[in-house]
Amino acid sequence: MRSEVDTDRPGMKHDFSDVDKYVASFDNPERAAWQKPDQVVAMMEIEPGMTVVDLGAGTGFFEPELSRAVGASGKVLALDVEPKMVEHLGRRAAEAGLAQV
């Protein structure tokens, strides 16, 4: 277990490498009720064919909505500082058929 401050990556205050630990809260169905991803993405006025960035994408909670918004010709760049989150997100996107991610 890493300490409060991750000495391997200066500036990192939390360790998100244990993805399973965070999936339960990051992907909790109740999150959609208070965060309203469909409304958030609609407010971004994304058009089909655009390229968008989800910076700090975590487990990929916003990727389905972002993918719908950019359409088949668009791209979603899902970025995170934790490599294991990126791996998880890639698997999740592939399983959901989100080729834009």
Reported pTM: 0.79
Closest-CA residue to 63 (of 30, 19, 95): 95
Question: Is the pLDDT assigned to residue 4 strictly greater than 50?
Answer: no
pLDDT band for 95, please (50, 70, 90 cuts).
Answer: very high
Amino acid, single-letter form, for residue 71 = G
- Residue of 24, 36, 69 whose CA lies nearest to 50: 69
- Please give the radius of gyration of the chain, using alpha carbons only, rounded to the nearest integer: 15
Lowest mean pLDDT among 3-7, 32-36, 42-46, 66-70: 3-7
Q: Could you tell me which residue, 100 or 34, shows the higher pLDDT?
A: 100
Domains of the chain, first to last? 19-95 (3.40.50.150)
Average of per-residue pLDDT values in the chain = 86
| Joined tokens for residue 86 | 């990126």
